[in-house]
């Protein structure tokens, strides 16, 4: 119930392509779904986040699609660039009974120039 | 505002020793969470502190402990180190002051190597 399943494990796209990373959760107590980007040697940095009362959120080239009934959400990166090459983590958070965030396993994205 | 800071950045210890890691959250943030990151297990939640109280704990043995001080700074301690404790330990802080403030901001991490 506490897992967040993320796929694919790795992804290679051409510059300008639209990589899509998918996540699924089980626990309906989660009420905040952030995506983090991590570069080697750095801590994860928040990219974009969504709440379950919204089906889509867009910030710049990054879009989250959220399907509450299916308990799934995904990240789309429009017009991907080589600088987007990083590891992406989805997460699910709840502040019920203490704040807790469960992370997906991560997706290593490589954007070819 | 200064970001989350963690000290030390790198640490080398031997099996059986103990280690203390430190985290200073963003000013005004009251919640501090700790995570262990390894290539095989990804980001795993250790514990969360809020106003000096541990509110949540992950599935780690009792050798892993922590505390939070009145200024929200937090320390994490690992006793009787094992080889498998080698990892990047990340600290994250949040305001948790109401809707929309539960974004976590991560520090750069402490890279612990156990020999």
Q: Which of A43, A49, A95 sits opposite B96 (nearest CB)?
A: A95
Q: What is the pLDDT of residues A12-57, one digit of tens each?
A: 999 999 999 999 999 888 888 999 999 988 899 999 999 988 999 9
Window 41-100 of B, Cβ < 8 Å to A: 42-45, 48, 50, 55-56, 90, 92, 94, 96
Q: What is the pLDDT of residues B9-36, one digit of tens each?
A: 999 999 999 999 999 999 999 999 999 9
DSSP string for A42-93 = S--EEEEEE-TT-SEEEETTEEEEEETTTTEEEEEETT--GGG-EEEEEEEE
pLDDT of residue B98: 61
- Tell me how far apart the alpha carbons of residues A99 and B33 are, in angstroms, rounded to a whole number: 9
pLDDT of residue B101: 59
């Amino acid at each position: 119930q506490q897992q967040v399943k993320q796929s694919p494990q790795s992804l290679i796209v051409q510059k300008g392509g639209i990589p899509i990373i998918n996540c699924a959760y089980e626990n309906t107590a989660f009420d905040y779904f952030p995506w983090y980007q991590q570069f080697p040697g750095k801590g994860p940095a928040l990219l974009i986040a969504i709440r379950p009362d919204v089906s889509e959120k867009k910030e710049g080239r990054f879009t989250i699609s959220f399907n509450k009934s299916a308990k799934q959400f995904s990240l789309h990166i429009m017009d991907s660039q080589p600088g987007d090459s990083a590891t992406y983590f989805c997460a699910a958070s709840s502040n019920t009974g203490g704040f807790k965030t469960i992370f997906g396993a991560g997706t290593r994205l490589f954007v070819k120039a | 505002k200064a970001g989350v800071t963690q000290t030390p950045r790198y640490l080398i210890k031997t099996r059986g020793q103990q280690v203390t890691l430190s985290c200073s959250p963003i000013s005004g943030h009251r919640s501090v969470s700790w995570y262990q990151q390894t290539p095989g297990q990804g980001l795993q939640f250790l514990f969360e502190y809020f106003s000096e109280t541990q509110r949540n704990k992950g599935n780690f043995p009792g050798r892993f402990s922590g505390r939070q001080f009145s200024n929200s700074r937090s320390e994490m301690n690992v006793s009787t180190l094992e080889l498998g404790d080698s990892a990047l330990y990340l600290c994250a802080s949040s305001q948790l002051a109401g809707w929309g403030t539960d974004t976590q901001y991560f520090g750069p991490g402490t890279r612990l190597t156990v020999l």
